[in-house]
Amino acid sequence: MNLLKDESFIPNEHYYFCEEFTEEFKEYIEKTLEKLEPGYKKSQVSYYTYYFLKEDGDEISGEYDCCDNDECINKTREELEKEYPNLQTMYYDNDGDHENIERCYQCNKPLNEHLTWIEYELDHYHEYLNDPIPKNEQFDLYCILQSIPSCDCSISEYVKHQLKLGNKDPLNESIKETKEFYQKVKELIDKINNCKIL
C-alpha cells in the first residue's frame, strides 16, 4: 500500500510542502478510527489542567496534574500539602501543543485529545499494545490516528534552503525519514486491526 501521494514532496513556489495521504491509506485510517471510536467516545476529556506550585514558586511534578473536577483537585492538594505547605493551585487550558496524552492523577481522565507530535505515543504503542485493547488505550490510539499528519515529519527550513541552492540530498533524506515514519504508523494500524476491542 502506498501511504503518501507523490505530490507530498513537491514544493510549491514558496517551498511549502504538504503531506497528503493516498485515498487507500486514508480509508484504512478511517476504518481503524471507526473500530476505536466506542472507547474514544466513552472518555470525557478535561479541557483544563490544574497543577500545583510550591511556596517558592517551583512547579510540583506533572504526575500530580489534575482534571477540572473539584474533588480531584482538592484530594490531590490535601495529599501534597502534607509535604508542601502553602501550595498554589494554577490551571491552563489544553489547547496548546502536546506530544503525549496526559491524564488526571486522581481519576485518570484524559487532559487532552490532540497531539502536535505523535512519535512518543506511537513508539510506546508500537512496542506495547494489549490484546484485547482496553478503553483507555482505545482513546490514546484514536488520538494518535486523528492527529496525523503530525508535525513529526515537517520539512525543515534547512532542507528548504538547501533545495533553493540546488542540493536535493537533505530533501531526499527527509523524504526517506517521512516514509519510514508513516510506515511505522501503518504497522501500528495493522496491529490494532489484528486485536480485539474491550
What values do phi and psi take at 43, rounded to 5?
Answer: -95, 120
List the pLDDT tens digit at each of the 198 positions of the chain: 898 888 877 777 777 777 789 999 999 999 999 999 988 877 788 889 999 998 887 888 889 999 999 999 999 999 999 989 888 999 998 887 889 899 999 999 999 888 999 999 999 999 999 999 998 899 999 999 999 988 888 788 888 888 888 898 988 898 899 999 999 999 999 999 999 988
> Which class for 14: exposed (0-12), middle (13-18), buried (19 or more C-beta within 10 A)?
exposed
C-alpha to C-alpha distances, 40 to 55, 58, 87, 92, 194, nearest whole angstrom:
38, 34, 34, 23, 18
Cβ atoms of 107 and 67 within 8 Å: the answer is yes
Query: How many angstroms separate the CA atoms of 41 and 35, rounded?
Result: 11
* Helix H or strand E encompassing 92: strand 88-93
Identify the CA nearest to 111 among candidates 41, 43, 47, 42.
Answer: 47
Q: Please report how many Cα atoms fall inside a 13 Å half-sphere around the Cα of residue 20, on the Cβ side.
A: 12
Residue spans per domain, the chain: 6-44+113-193, 48-93
Place of cell 534547512: 158
Place of cell 478510527: 33
Q: Check residue 38 and give its pLDDT.
A: 86
Query: Dihedral of CA 106/107/109/115: which sign?
Result: positive
- H and E: helices and strands count for the chain: 6, 2
Q: Which pTM value belongs to this model?
A: 0.86
Query: How many angstroms separate the CA atoms of 44 and 26, rounded?
Result: 26
41 contacts: CB under 8 Å, gap ≥ 6: none
